[in-house]
Structures are given as C-alpha cells and as structure tokens.
Structure 1
Amino acid sequence: MAAFAMPTVEFAPALTRHVACPKQQVRADTLGAALEAAFRAAPALQGYVLDEQGAVRKHVAVFLNGDMLPRDTALARAVAAEDRVMVIQALTGG
C-alpha cells in the first residue's frame, strides 16, 4: 500500500465566508486528492473551487508553499507531508 503525505490545506476567508472550512491536514499524494479530502469537511466548498469538469475555476488561485500553480496542472502536482496548500479567490480587474 502506498504511503500518503499529510499536507495542510487552507481556504482563504473570501471562500470560507460562503462555506466554513477550517485549515486541516489531509491524507493525499496529489494536490487534487488533498482538495478532495478537504472538501469532505465542507462539500459545498467544492463548487466554489472546481468547475463542472473538476478543473480549478478561472477566478480561483491555488498556491503550494507560497508559489501560485498554473490552474491547468495544479491538481496533478505531487504533495509532501510538509506542504502547505492555500486556495484563494483570484481577483481580476477591468
């Protein structure tokens, strides 16, 4: 059986004001699996973060250890026990 890391996943206040979800350590080997595990604590949050195809929404940014990840490859990124995932609502101007 494969060993899983326990990265920390946190959602920014702009998201948790809609659906409460505390910072948590989750059991996962990829960032996508880490988010999936975090959504178990707050299933309604998934719709704010992922679109209908399961991809990161256009106005959401995912950071791994402070580095913003490209939306199209973020979910496949491997995670380690000491990793910190932060999900925020990205702001766009106009």
Structure 2
Amino acid sequence: MAQLFFTQQLARFTAVPEVSTDAGRLREGLDSAFALNPRLRGYVLDDQGALRPNVVIFIDGRRCLDTRRLDDPLQPDSKVYVLQALSGG
C-alpha cells in the first residue's frame, strides 16, 4: 500500500495522520487522509481543490506534476511526502 506522510510544519496547524492507502491516484490518496482529518484539506488544497502554492508533494522522490487535478499515479509501494514549500533567503 502507498504511504502518505505529512511534515511537522503542517502539524503546527492540525493533526497530520500517516496514511496507508491502496489508491491508484494522488487525489484518492489525499482523500484518504482528509477522511481521517477533514481540517487538513484546507491546509493542503485551495477552494477549487488544487494544491495550494505553499504546499509541495513528492511521490517517490519526484515532485507532483499535476497540481490541479492531482492525478499523478501511485504505485502500491509509493512514498508520498506532503510539505510546506518554503521561500525566502
């Protein structure tokens, strides 16, 4: 099963579960996490359901390509990391 991990930066705002999912697509995997903590959705997704600009997702070491539909495929052994994208100097 694919594993979703949320970094501790998000934990400052709400509980961030580690999720095991058999989802075949990123959005389905995220929905599994949001089912455990609905407040998490607002920190990760905007009002249109797209990834917020200050959040980045890596799937098996590669950055998520589809930030609107979140349709990137997940493999049964995928590792998905959701974290805040930091900027500044």
Q: How high is the TM-score relative to the length of structure 2?
A: 0.90
Contact 1:32–1:74 (CA<8 Å) still a contact in 2?
A: yes
5+ long unaligned stretches in structure 2: none
Residues 71 and 88 (structure 1), Cα distance of their counterparts in 2 relative to 1, 3 Å cut: farther
Q: How high is the TM-score relative to the length of structure 1?
A: 0.85
Aligned twin of 1:14: 9
Bigger radius of gyration among the two:
1
Aligned twin of 2:55: 60
Aligned twin of 1:3: none
Whole-Å Cα distance in 2 between the matches of residues 32 and 7 of structure 1? 13
Residues 21 and 11 (structure 1), Cα distance of their counterparts in 2 relative to 1, 3 Å cut: same
Corresponding residue to 1:23 among 18, 21, 40: 18
How large is the RMSD of aligned CA atoms in angstroms?
Answer: 1.6
Residues 33 and 67 (structure 1), Cα distance of their counterparts in 2 relative to 1, 3 Å cut: same
Name segments (4+ residues, structure 1) moved above 6 Å: none
Q: Could you tell me which amino acid in structure 1 is paired with residue 86 of structure 2?
A: L
Whole-Å Cα distance in 1 between the matches of residues 84 and 68 of structure 2? 18
5+ long unaligned stretches in structure 1: 1-5
Residue correspondences, number: 89
Identity %: 37
